[in-house]
Amino acid sequence: MKKVKYLILTTVILALLGSCVDNYQDANPPRPLDGPYFALNAGGDVLETAENGNFIGANQTIVFTLDVINCQGGIDSVGVTVNEENLGTAVVDEVSLSAAIGQIQGEVTVNYTTVSQVLEETELEIDVTLYDGQQEIDW
């Protein structure tokens, strides 16, 4: 009976030791930091009327300013997507972005310029996304 107890005890101890993780970070990665918090302002050639709301004409530029208030993972990059790609081009100001990369606070500028000729009034949706420098965790 004593041999069975020792055999069971040895098996339990070996099972516990075998289930330990070599690197604690592999099994329990640190929680991600909060995502970036920023205010987005639009300026430049944006016109506003009571009838039409905000609009921009042909061959004009909207200047988006991302005022980053808190980016705990550090500012990494800015992405811009537009629903109508043939109506203009969006360009991230590299000088303002390179000055802000790695910082917790900063300001990044994005310029969107419409084409020189727009044939009809079209709804334009511009999405500006701020990415931080955190590694993505695959849960």
CATH number of the domain at 70, please.
2.60.40
Whether 21 is in a domain gets the answer no
Supply the pLDDT for residue 125.
Answer: 87
Residue bearing tokens 């993505």: 136
Supply the pLDDT for residue 44.
Answer: 81
Whether 68 is in a domain gets the answer yes
Whether 57 is in a domain gets the answer yes
d(CA 2, CA 19): 26
d(CA 2, CA 4): 5
Residue of 42, 127, 122 whose CA lies nearest to 82: 127
Supply the pLDDT for residue 51.
Answer: 65
Supply the pLDDT for residue 136.
Answer: 73
d(CA 55, CA 48): 6
List the domain range (segments joined by +) for residue 45: 32-132
Whether 1 is in a domain gets the answer no
Angle made by CA atoms 82, 87, 91, in degrees to the nearest 5 = 55
The pTM of the full predicted model, rounded to 2 decimals, is: 0.70
Structural domains counted in the chain: 1
**pLDDT (tens place) for every residue of the chain, 139 residues total:** 777 888 888 888 877 776 766 666 566 667 788 888 889 888 887 776 666 667 777 888 889 999 999 998 899 999 999 988 888 899 999 999 999 999 999 999 999 998 888 777 788 888 999 999 887 766 5
Number of H helices, E strands in the chain: 3, 8
Whether 81 is in a domain gets the answer yes
Whether 27 is in a domain gets the answer no
Supply the pLDDT for residue 98.
Answer: 94
Whether 16 is in a domain gets the answer no
Measure Cα distances from 108 to 16, 37, 62, 74, 83 in Å. 52, 13, 14, 13, 22
